[in-house]
């Protein structure tokens, strides 16, 4: 598995914590920025990570802004992205198992750093269940095609 990761300034510190965990787990990743807590615009990083995921350069993506909400909104504008705002291990697991989320968004201001490792592990280790959930994802894909 290869991960694309990115953040804005508000998520920078948590992104660095997550990168250390990925290093510890020996999960390869590509950091799409930002590189400091200097203010930047989160849509730029959401787009870069999203395009890496849908383009096959990465299997999953992790985005961090202040709350995770803005990153999720921006990422979900890219066809093929299923970005979920997660706040704990259960939401990370369910985003994968039920929604086949390929990008997880977190809040640097709302997610305590000590909870991030469990959330990241849950997101990376949970498989999509398919079955009854497949029909719903097919409907989401049809919505994307209607907008194209």
Integer Cα distance of 115 and 73 in angstroms: 23
pLDDT digits (tens, 9 = 90+) for 43-69: 999 999 999 999 999 999 999 999 999
Exposed, middle or buried: residue 40 (CB in 10 Å: 0-12, 13-18, 19+)? middle
Integer Cα distance of 108 and 15 in angstroms: 8
Exposed, middle or buried: residue 14 (CB in 10 Å: 0-12, 13-18, 19+)? buried
**Model pTM?**
0.96
Instruction: Reply yes or no on whether the pLDDT at 148 is more than 70.
Output: no
Helix (H, G, I), strand (E, B) or coil at 83: strand
Name the catalytic one among 62, 65, 103, 116. 65
pLDDT digits (tens, 9 = 90+) for 1-60: 999 999 999 999 999 999 999 999 999 999 999 999 999 999 999 999 999 999 999 999
Q: Which residues pair with 105 in a beta bridge?
A: 63, 85
Q: Kindly report the number of other CB atoms within 10 A of residue 11's CB atom.
A: 31
Name the catalytic one among 54, 71, 98, 119. 98
Residue 98 known to be catalytic:
yes
Domains plus CATH for the chain?
3-147 (3.40.1400.10)
Residue 65 known to be catalytic:
yes
Share of the chain above pLDDT 90, in %: 94
């Amino acid at each position: 598995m290869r991960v694309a990761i990115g953040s804005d300034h508000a998520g920078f510190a948590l992104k660095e914590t997550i990168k250390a965990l990925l290093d510890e787990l020996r999960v390869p990743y590509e950091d799409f920025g930002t590189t400091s807590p200097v203010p930047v615009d989160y849509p730029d990083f959401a787009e870069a990570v999203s395009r890496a995921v849908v383009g096959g350069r990465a299997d999953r993506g992790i985005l961090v802004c202040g709350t995770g909400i803005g990153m999720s909104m921006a990422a979900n504008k890219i066809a093929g992205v299923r970005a979920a705002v997660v706040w704990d291990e259960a939401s990370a697991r369910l985003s994968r198992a039920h929604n086949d989320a390929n990008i997880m968004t977190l809040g640097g201001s709302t997610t305590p750093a000590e909870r991030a490792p469990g959330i990241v592990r849950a997101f990376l280790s949970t498989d999509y269940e398919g079955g009854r959930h497949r029909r719903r994802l097919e409907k989401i894909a049809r919505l994307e095609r209607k907008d194209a």
